[in-house]
């Protein structure tokens, strides 16, 4: 019987730490429900002590999502562990995930401490967590730059203290596959109580080897892999969940193990995370990229027609890939809309449905065909819980080769409407300047991008902007069939995010 590998998803915690990938509580819950539908084993929902909102989001996921274990991250500090337990205890399968750095770099420069003291803190942290939760994971941060003999002592001590899972993370993406294999094998050969816990790995992609490193650990005996949807995460990201899962499934002859992941949900989950975070999946991304199952070369096309296995090692349907089909139109009713949204992984209450349906009708009036991608944009906007300090009431622009680009913008705040106009290098620049004049904010536009959500002349265009105001930075996202409107809304979305952060700091 093939060995079962536990899949630990940290999209909502480490994935959300990608610069600009901030998710609202409702967005996290939607993703968590979809992860449960995929039958992910463990969902790391956040870092409860880091902020009141993160605490609340972990608590909500623990309370509302059933099936997977729900974990929270915490330092090996009593107040952190208490906060984590208060958040995850609402799950029917809670897990406390505590950590401390064990490399010489962390011990000397981060903690200004000694190996003996850090070992003591690791053990005390696990014991304190164990008093609250039977399921405790410990991570030796920066493990692959930790002295092997010291890492061995730490692993043995935390298992003795009660850790049920011990994670050996490549925190900075430094390791190579053969180093990972040798390290995990060394621990299995030299830690006497190692089989009393599950050994895990958490690999970052700074050198592009996170998936290979994770799989190398599996071949050496690791029983859990920590990863994210689309490889989201700090810096260059984490190991990609879809790549690990499909590698294990496709090369079962090599790995002799399996996961319980429903792979047919992979593409759907990838799209949801991409839409909610605003992080576009590159076309040549393995498994979920737009080109992953596309064939342009004539010789490839001929081979596929004769036998798909000539140029495809996986079936598209195994990861849920199919052509985006027409689903709904302006004459579709609420029942059809709800059914399709549920098919996409969204749970919609009666209270939410009316607002979502009205948003859908506005899109349907402008388009002949409403695609799944359009619905995902509608859901992202409908479930955005960020307070709307300013809202866009109207936008009118003029531009042309012989015309000075001008934008007239009307915004509303607390029931009061304000209108102003500005000129710019183009209609988008003019709209942004008008918004600055109304809101009284001086902003620097650091990045701007547009992409088509679906096909056709009436496709929805999604705008993503990155703006900075003094020490605050924010990413704004919005979509519309009018790309100028999408750009103005995205700019305003970023403005609102900065204002909310400033207000929170003042309070």
Average pLDDT of the chain, as a whole number:
89
pLDDT computed for residue 79 by the predictor = 97
Residue 305 has pLDDT above 80, yes or no: no
pLDDT computed for residue 247 by the predictor = 97
Task: For 187-235, write each residue's pLDDT tens digit.
Answer: 999 999 999 999 999 999 999 999 999 999 999 999 999 999 999 999 9
CA-wise closest residue to 3 among 246, 142, 198: 198
Express as a percent the part of the chain with pLDDT over 90: 60
How far apart CA 330 and CA 362 sit, in angstroms, is 9
CA-wise closest residue to 69 among 40, 46, 108: 40
- Provide mean pLDDT across the span 328-338: 78
Question: Where do runs of H (alpha helix) occur along 65-176?
Answer: 78-88, 104-105, 115-130, 148-161
Residue 297 has pLDDT above 50, yes or no: no
Q: Which residue has the tokens 């401490």?
A: 113
Express as a percent the part of the chain with pLDDT over 70: 93
pLDDT computed for residue 501 by the predictor = 78
pLDDT computed for residue 111 by the predictor = 94
Residue 276 has pLDDT above 90, yes or no: no
Task: For 50-66, write each residue's pLDDT tens digit.
Answer: 989 899 999 999 999 99
Residue bearing the bigger pLDDT, 144 or 449: 144
How far apart CA 385 and CA 300 sit, in angstroms, is 47
pLDDT computed for residue 295 by the predictor = 42
Sheet hosting strand 472-480, strand order edge to edge: 444-452, 461-469, 472-480
- Provide mean pLDDT across the span 139-161: 98
Residue 506 buriedness (CB in 10 A; 0-12 / 13-18 / 19+): exposed
- Coarse DSSP helix, strand, coil percentages of the chain, rounded to the nearest 5 percent: 45, 20, 30
In the chain the domains, ranked by start, together with CATH numbers, are 3-249 (3.20.20.70), 334-382 (no CATH), 391-506 (3.30.160.270)
Q: Is the Cβ–Cβ distance between 227 and 247 less than 8 Å?
A: no
């Amino acid at each position: 019987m093939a060995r079962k590998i536990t899949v630990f998803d940290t999209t909502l915690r480490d994935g959300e730490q990608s610069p600009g990938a901030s998710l609202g509580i409702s967005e996290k819950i939607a993703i968590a429900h979809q992860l449960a539908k995929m039958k992910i084993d463990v969902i790391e929902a956040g870092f409860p002590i880091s902020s009141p909102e993160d605490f609340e989001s972990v608590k909500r996921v623990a309370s509302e999502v059933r099936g997977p274990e729900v974990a929270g991250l915490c330092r090996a500090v009593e107040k952190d562990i208490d906060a984590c337990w208060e958040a995850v205890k609402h799950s029917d399968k809670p897990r406390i995930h505590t950590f401390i750095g064990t490399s010489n770099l962390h011990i000397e420069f981060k903690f200004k401490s000694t190996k003996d003291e850090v070992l003591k803190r690791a053990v005390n942290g696990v014991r304190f967590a164990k008093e609250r939760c039977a399921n405790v994971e410990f991570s030796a941060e920066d493990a692959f730059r930790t002295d092997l003999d010291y890492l061995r002592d730490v692993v043995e001590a935390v298992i003795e203290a009660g850790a049920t899972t011990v994670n050996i993370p490549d925190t900075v993406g430094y390791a190579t596959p053969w180093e990972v294999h040798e390290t995990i094998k060394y621990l299995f050969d030299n830690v006497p109580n190692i089989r009393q816990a599950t050994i895990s790995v958490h690999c970052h992609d700074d050198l592009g080897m996170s998936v290979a490193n994770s799989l190398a650990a599996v071949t050496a005996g690791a029983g859990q892999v920590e990863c994210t949807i689309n490889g989201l995460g700090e810096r260059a990201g984490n190991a990609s969940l879809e790549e690990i899962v499909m590698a294990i499934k496709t090369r079962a002859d090599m790995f002799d193990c399996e996961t319980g992941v429903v792979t047919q949900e992979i593409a759907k989950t990838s799209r949801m995370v991409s839409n909610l975070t605003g992080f576009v999946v590159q076309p040549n991304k393995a498994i979920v990229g737009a080109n992953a199952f596309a064939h342009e070369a004539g010789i490839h096309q001929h081979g596929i027609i004769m036998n798909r296995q000539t140029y495809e090692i996986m079936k598209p349907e195994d990861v849920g890939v199919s052509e985006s089909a027409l689903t709904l139109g302006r004459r579709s009713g609420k029942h059809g809309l709800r059914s399709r949204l549920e098919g996409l992984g969204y749970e919609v209450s009666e209270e939410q449905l009316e607002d979502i349906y009205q948003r859908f009708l506005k899109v349907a009036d402008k388009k002949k065909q409403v695609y799944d991608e359009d619905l995902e944009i509608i859901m992202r906007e409908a479930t955005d819980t960020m307070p709307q300090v300013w809202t866009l009431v109207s936008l009118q622009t003029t531009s042309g080769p012989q015309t000075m680009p001008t934008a007239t913008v009307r915004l509303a705040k607390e029931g009061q409407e304000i209108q102003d106009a500005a000129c710019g290098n183009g209609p988008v620049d003019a709209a942004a300047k008008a918004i600055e004049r109304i809101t009284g904010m001086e902003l620097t536009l650091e990045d701007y991008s547009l992409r088509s959500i679906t096909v056709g002349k009436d496709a929805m265009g999604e705008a993503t902007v990155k703006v900075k105001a003094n020490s605050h930075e924010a990413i704004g996202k919005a979509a519309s069939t009018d790309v100028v409107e999408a750009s103005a809304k995205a700019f305003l979305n970023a403005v609102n995010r900065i204002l909310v952060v400033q207000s929170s700091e003042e309070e």
